[in-house]
Amino acid sequence: MIHVAIKENIYGGDHYCALCGEKIHTKFGPDLFLEGTNHIICHDCGRDHNPMLVEFLELMDKAGSRLANVA
Q: What is the pLDDT of residues 24-71, one digit of tens each?
A: 999 899 999 999 999 999 999 999 999 999 999 999 888 876 555 555
Buried b (16+ CB within 10 A) or exposed e, 15-39: bebbbeeeebeeeeebbbbbeeeee
Q: How far apart are CA 42 and CA 54, in angstroms?
A: 9
Answering whether pTM is above 0.85, one says no
Phi then psi for 32, rounded to 5 degrees?
A: -95, 135
Q: How far apart are CA 65 and CA 5, in angstroms?
A: 22
Tally of CA atoms within 13 A in the half-sphere of 69 that contains its CB: 6
